[in-house]
Amino acid sequence: MSSSWWSEVQMGPPDPILGVSEAYKRDTNPKKINLGVGAYRDDQGKPYVLSCVRKAEAQIAAKKLDKEYLAIGGLGDFTKACAKLALGDDNEVIKSGRNITVQTISGTGSLRIGANFLSRFHTEARDVYLPKPSWGNHTPIFRDAGMQLKAYTYYDPKTCGFDFQGALNDISKIPEKSVIMLHACAHNPTGVDPRPEQWKEIADLVKKRNLLVFFDMAYQGFASGDIDRDAWAVRYFIEQGHNIVLSQSFAKNMGLYGERVGGFTVVCKDAEEAKRVESQLKILIRPIYSNPPMNGARIAATILNTPDLYKEWLGEVHGMANRIITMRELLVANLKKEGSTRNWKHVIDQIGMFCFTGLKPEQVERLTKEFSIYMTKDGRISMAGVTSGNVGYLAQGIHAVTK
Amino acid sequence: MYLLLLFVSPPPICCSSWWGGVQMGPPDPILGVSEAFKRDTSPKKMNLGVGAYRDDHGKPFVLDCVRKAEALISSKQLDKEYLAIGGLGDFTKSCALLALGADSEVLKSGRNITVQTISGTGSLCIGANFLSRFHSASRDVYLPKPSWGNHTPIFRDAGMQLKAYRYYDPSTCGFDFNGALDDISKMPEKSVIMLHACAHNPTGVDPKPEQWKEIADLVKKRDLLVFFDMAYQGFASGDIDRDAWAVRHFIEQGHNIVLSQSFAKNMGLYGERVGGFTVVCNDAEEVKRVESQLKILIRPIYSNPPMNGARIAATILNTPDLYKIWLGEVHGMANRIIKMREQLAANLKSEGSTHNWQHVIDQIGMFCFTGLKPEQVERLTKEFSVYMTKDGRISMAGVTSGNVGYLAHGIHAVTK
């Protein structure tokens, strides 16, 4: 028998984010709370399948469609609507046909296609600048694609807010043509977003520095509850002449998580360039997975293209965002009630799924060990895991480890 | 007469184009055939390009067991939470069981790790990347000559080097057994050898069992890492155990293989993207190490795989009634293909062709390597609107009792 092929393969570390859920599952404490993964929960702590999704599924099932391969770039009805959602209905980019939008395997798949595309065709620079901190998976995505990771100041731990001056300072030093990653809304993991006037200055500076902008928009609609408001930064940059690349995910805002629905867009100079870029995207995608999964894209396309369902969806996204905002307010109120004298305003100021509590690793560890409250080591909590039923216990625990 | 003064908004002040240097890429050779077919207006046109099964009316076929499984799943009103990075457990277990067989020692020992993948391509890509990262003993992957076109960019983009071993014999339209053995005997130790488990794509030419035995022996002597691509289990002979025979024989002989499986064809799940990637390890401890690294590799590609198709496949594989229906439907699809092969050969005879078309019947699976030359293929397309890939490969699935006569007519016309 051949000596083992894999004897040198080391045990790898568990995924920091998904590892939290695994530890939570093993805990037997009835009061345990999982504030790890960013998946929305209703006020009973249960996964939530949107009503518009169920209706769309029923419509699709009734049509008894076949299961033939999609095109390499995905379902046309989906990609068109996906671009419209991000850019706006009457956007000049779409009218000119100067975007290419392909269907991807949710946000991760989109980022990876983008990273690979940059690696292959953006030869002027290998450097991708991520905000500090950024979503943990950004790093291996770009690294495995052959890019070099760098960072710009973003989060200010003193204020638990945006370090605007620090960001501008770092961005002003980024070498020309480098890639800069911007979170379009609901920054992950901090929940800290620039204000519109700050975005304007950033857009100006990025143009001066001649940087290639990569927007990651995983939470459109989920941040403020308004899909146009959440896309404002993306649209502003495009109006200012930035030919961006953009990743979109429908995991959170449509609750399509495991169906893996996303899009990757390259804003090109013109329609002719879009055709060249499209051909190369297809060549890149074909040896990774040939063509994308159909089910989720059909659901998303049905919702986006059916006025009644679209309206219903907007309402449900608004509802999810509102529950999160309510939980933020409840958490702060409860912390006050517990007697905490710390400033918890950032819990309300931050936006989206996550809250960067400001808790230190030792405090996080105590929260987990003594209270069975699970979160990532950086003190990030998923507000989606907070309910009116457990917010009191959460406040109790946080106060206990911070007083 | 009024002069209409149109206010032309100035073009956006773009940063100079980022993608000025991006060239137009060539169209995919296989998918490009379908695009050309779509543009053709001839009522007699035939698409023998892509390997997607068609019924005898030329229509896509969604399996009855699939529809039943979907109804079952829908009634459960399941949520859409993320699957694990390695996919749906009910799927991966039954996927491995299907390939390896119920009495597999590998399964009993727990010495396989099987992850859900994005159909066959996704499985091969994960495998190629895993080899690239962890099989440091060699960069070389040996593909049979010819092989599926997409194998090459899959391994190349993963950082491996492509090489080839003789496989197809154009003079017989069959297997070049001695040529293959000769080339395999010269492969450097620890190289990776790609083997098509059954229904070789694009030729339809499979080794006979006694030939597989000699290949397995030689591969062991050369100490090669075997990568099996099984995209057509059940679809080749109509019998899922028979089609998995080579995979199981190699494992019994002690080869710790890596294996890609697809459910695109045998379950008709094409666009749902259902597949599996398996590494047969030394023992259960090694499995844990390999599994951890597969997850680290997968997470920055797509995080976790799509749920819908895996749920369908798992339901079918794990529900005895549905499993039985499925076996019958796979058998039916394979039989229709075999019948079309027989009819094509018979029609070519009645057209008066004096060529030897035995290979059309001897070859197995979705594809037939006709032996047609590029110029003949071009004539078939231009004069008869019959579409196939330039290498003379036709998808038998695109042949029906309604068009087999026309196909024979065209093939005879360009080969007489």
DSSP string over B205-216: ----HHHHHHHH
Question: Is the per-residue pLDDT at B12 higher than 60?
Answer: no
Q: What is the pLDDT of residue A212?
A: 98
Q: Is the dihedral of CA A394, A395, A397, A401 positive or negative?
A: positive
Question: Is the per-residue pLDDT at B304 higher than 90?
Answer: yes
Q: What is the pLDDT of residue A2?
A: 47
Query: Cα(A356)–Cα(A378) distance, rounded to whole angstroms?
Result: 8
**Residue range A162-200, pLDDT digits in tens:** 999 999 999 999 999 999 999 999 999 999 999 999 999
Query: Cα(B53)–Cα(B46) distance, rounded to whole angstroms?
Result: 14
Smallest CA–CA distance, residue A282 to chain B, in Å, is: 8
Active site includes B265?
yes
**Residue range A75-126, pLDDT digits in tens:** 999 999 999 999 999 899 999 999 999 999 999 999 999 999 999 999 999 9
- For residue B132, what is the nearest residue in chain A, using CA coordinates? A144
Residues in B touching A4 (Cβ below 8 Å) = 256, 281-282, 286
Query: Cα(B179)–Cα(B198) distance, rounded to whole angstroms?
Result: 19
Q: What is the pLDDT of residue B13?
A: 47
Residues in B touching A61 (Cβ below 8 Å) = 70, 74
Q: Do B18 and A122 make contact, defined as CB atoms within 8 angstroms?
A: yes
* CA nearest neighbour of A116 among A223, A214, A241: A214
Task: Pick the residue of B13, B19, B192 with the most A CBs within 10 A to test the interface with A by mutation.
Answer: B19
Please, are residues A2 and B223 in contact by the beta-carbon 8 Å criterion? yes
Residues in A touching B89 (Cβ below 8 Å) = none
* DSSP strands (E only) in A186-244: 212-217
Over residues A302-307, the mean pLDDT reads 98
Query: Cα(A247)–Cα(A111) distance, rounded to whole angstroms?
Result: 6
Smallest CA–CA distance, residue B28 to chain A, in Å, is: 8
- For residue B138, what is the nearest residue in chain A, using CA coordinates? A5
**Residue range B176-187, pLDDT digits in tens:** 999 999 999 999
Query: Cα(B239)–Cα(A74) distance, rounded to whole angstroms?
Result: 33
Residues in B touching A112 (Cβ below 8 Å) = 300-302
Residues in A touching B123 (Cβ below 8 Å) = none
Q: Do A280 and B154 make contact, defined as CB atoms within 8 angstroms?
A: no
Please report where in the chains the tokens 């940087």 appear, as a residue: A211
Q: What is the pLDDT of residue A22?
A: 84
| pLDDT cut 70: percent of chain B above it | 96
Q: How far is CA A365 from CA A19, A36, A253, A362, A376, in A?
A: 14, 13, 31, 5, 9
Active site includes B18?
no
ipTM greater than cut 0.85: yes
Beta bridge partners of B39: none
- For residue B88, what is the nearest residue in chain A, using CA coordinates? A258
**Residue range A235-283, pLDDT digits in tens:** 999 999 999 999 999 999 999 999 999 999 999 999 999 999 999 999 9
Please, are residues B255 and B219 in contact by the beta-carbon 8 Å criterion? yes
Task: Tokens for A310, please give them.
Answer: 């679209």
Q: Do B17 and A296 make contact, defined as CB atoms within 8 angstroms?
A: no
Q: What is the pLDDT of residue A19?
A: 77
Please, are residues A165 and A188 in contact by the beta-carbon 8 Å criterion? no
In this structure, of A305-314, B20-29, B108-117, B158-167, the range with the lowest mean pLDDT score is B20-29
Q: What is the pLDDT of residue A1?
A: 45
Q: How many helices (H) and strands (E) in chain A?
A: 16, 13
Beta bridge partners of B46: B386
Over residues B366-395, the mean pLDDT reads 95
Tell me: cis bond preceding B300? Omega within 30 of 0 counts: no
What is the number of residues in chain A? 403
- For residue A237, what is the nearest residue in chain B, using CA coordinates? B14
Active site includes B56?
no
Grouping H, G, I as helix, E, B as strand and the rest as coil, residue A272 is: helix
> What's the distance, CA A28 to chain centroid?
31
Please tell me if residue B171 touches chain A, with a CB cutoff of 8 Å: no
Angle in degrees, CA A31, A37, A39, rounded to 5: 95
Q: What is the pLDDT of residue B125?
A: 98
Please tell me if residue B24 touches chain A, with a CB cutoff of 8 Å: yes
Q: What is the pLDDT of residue B17?
A: 86
Q: What is the pLDDT of residue B160?
A: 98
Grouping H, G, I as helix, E, B as strand and the rest as coil, residue A150 is: strand
Smallest CA–CA distance, residue A233 to chain B, in Å, is: 17
Of A112, A279, A289, the CB nearest to B121: A289
**Residue range B33-88, pLDDT digits in tens:** 888 899 999 999 999 987 899 999 999 999 999 999 999 999 999 999 999 999 99
Residues in B touching A296 (Cβ below 8 Å) = 306, 308
- The catalytically annotated residue of B206, B265, B326, B357 is B265
**Residue range B220-277, pLDDT digits in tens:** 999 999 999 999 999 999 999 999 999 999 999 999 999 999 999 999 999 999 999 9
Question: Is the per-residue pLDDT at B9 higher than 80?
Answer: no
Question: Is the per-residue pLDDT at A230 higher than 70?
Answer: yes
DSSP secondary-structure letter at B373?
Answer: -
Residues in A touching B79 (Cβ below 8 Å) = 47, 49
Q: What is the pLDDT of residue B50?
A: 73
Question: Is the per-residue pLDDT at A301 higher than 50?
Answer: yes
Query: Cα(A14)–Cα(B380) distance, rounded to whole angstroms?
Result: 56
Q: How far is CA B179 from CA A145, B36, B168, in A?
A: 38, 36, 9
Mean pLDDT across chain A, nearest whole number? 96
Which value, in Å, is the radius of gyration of the alpha carbons in chain A?
A: 22
Smallest CA–CA distance, residue A345 to chain B, in Å, is: 31
Question: Is the per-residue pLDDT at B10 higher than 60?
Answer: no
Q: Do B281 and A14 make contact, defined as CB atoms within 8 angstroms?
A: no
Q: How many CB atoms lie within 10 A of CB A395?
A: 22
Q: Which of residues 292-331 of B touch A (CB under 8 A)?
A: 292-293, 295-297, 299-309
- For residue A15, what is the nearest residue in chain B, using CA coordinates? B296
Smallest CA–CA distance, residue A216 to chain B, in Å, is: 15
Q: Would residue B32 be called left, alpha or beta, if left means φ above 0 and alpha means ψ between -120 and 50 degrees? A: alpha
Q: Known catalytic residues of A?
A: 135, 216, 252
Residues in B touching A105 (Cβ below 8 Å) = 118, 301-303, 306
Q: Do A268 and B292 make contact, defined as CB atoms within 8 angstroms?
A: no
Q: What is the pLDDT of residue A229?
A: 98
Of B22, B269, B290, the CB nearest to A9: B290
HEC profile of A322-341: HHHHHHHHHHHHHHHHHCCC
Q: Which of residues 261-280 of A touch B (CB under 8 A)?
A: 266, 268-269, 273, 275-277, 279-280
Query: Cα(A199)–Cα(B369) distance, rounded to whole angstroms?
Result: 59
**pTM for this model (two decimals):** 0.96
Tell me which H or E stretch contains A398.
helix A391-402
